[in-house]
Amino acid sequence: MVDTDYLATIRGVPFMNHLVLLDAQAGELESILSGVKTMLVREFDPAQATAHPVTPGDGLYFLRNRDDCALRVRATVARVLLLTGTTPEDLSHTLKEMQPRLQLTEDQYNQWSVKRQVFLVEFESAHKVDVIHVAPNRIPDPSDWVAFGELREITE
């Protein structure tokens, strides 16, 4: 077992955590817990590049939906793929190729396949955690991920 602080020191930057809002209607949380869904799509907009990009080793905390505000599952980022400068046809093909890991619904596929640039975030070790209540005001934009260092930054 390796201490994450040690890995962060080797990497040169601290690991971040990310609050990820899931699509409850698509049953994403259940798919993640069952091990079927192991990858997420995240929009990439170079004009709004985040100060805390998702990188391998980061933690993902999954929120079933904004109304619930209870974290129940955590995973670790294994790999991040940036798909940029591609045509919609290229992205569509890649999403189809990655579908066994993404488990996108038809609506989700249609939403993501028209984007020009996205991140594919592969994760591992998804497991249940004790329920953590997130303060609703800590979720400014339900379509984006919220980067945080410690859980106290997002809790009530």
Task: Tell me what percent of the residues of the chain surpass a pLDDT of 90.
Answer: 43
**Mean predicted lDDT score pLDDT of the chain:** 83
The pLDDT confidence band at residue 101, using thresholds 50, 70 and 90, is: very high
Q: What is the pTM of this model?
A: 0.85
Residue at 64 is within a domain: yes
The pLDDT confidence band at residue 12, using thresholds 50, 70 and 90, is: low
Residue 9 in this model has a pLDDT that exceeds 60: no
Residue at 146 is within a domain: no
Whether residue 118 contacts residue 92, with contact meaning beta carbons closer than 8 Å, is answered with no
Residue at 151 is within a domain: no
Residue at 77 is within a domain: yes
Which pLDDT belongs to residue 139?
A: 77
Which pLDDT belongs to residue 117?
A: 85
Distances (CA, A) of 71 to 7, 66, 135, 143, 155: 25, 10, 11, 17, 10
User: Which residue range forms the structural domain that includes residue 51?
Assistant: 4-137
Which pLDDT belongs to residue 109?
A: 95
How many domains does the chain divide into? Answer: 1
Q: Using CA atoms, how far apart are residues 68 and 125, in angstroms rounded to an integer? A: 23
Which residue has 């991140």 as its token pair? 119
Residue 23 in this model has a pLDDT that exceeds 70: yes
Residue 13 in this model has a pLDDT that exceeds 80: no
* CA atoms within 13 A of residue 70's CA, in its CB half-sphere: 6
Sheet strands side by side (includes 39-43): 39-43, 118-133, 70-83, 59-63, 17-21, 146-148
Amino acid at the residue 15: F
Q: Which residues pair with 42 in a beta bridge?
A: 119
Q: Using CA atoms, how far apart are residues 69 and 106, in angstroms rounded to an integer? A: 26
Residue 105 maps to which CATH number? 2.30.130.30
Residue at 34 is within a domain: yes
Name which residue leads in pLDDT, 81 or 141: 81
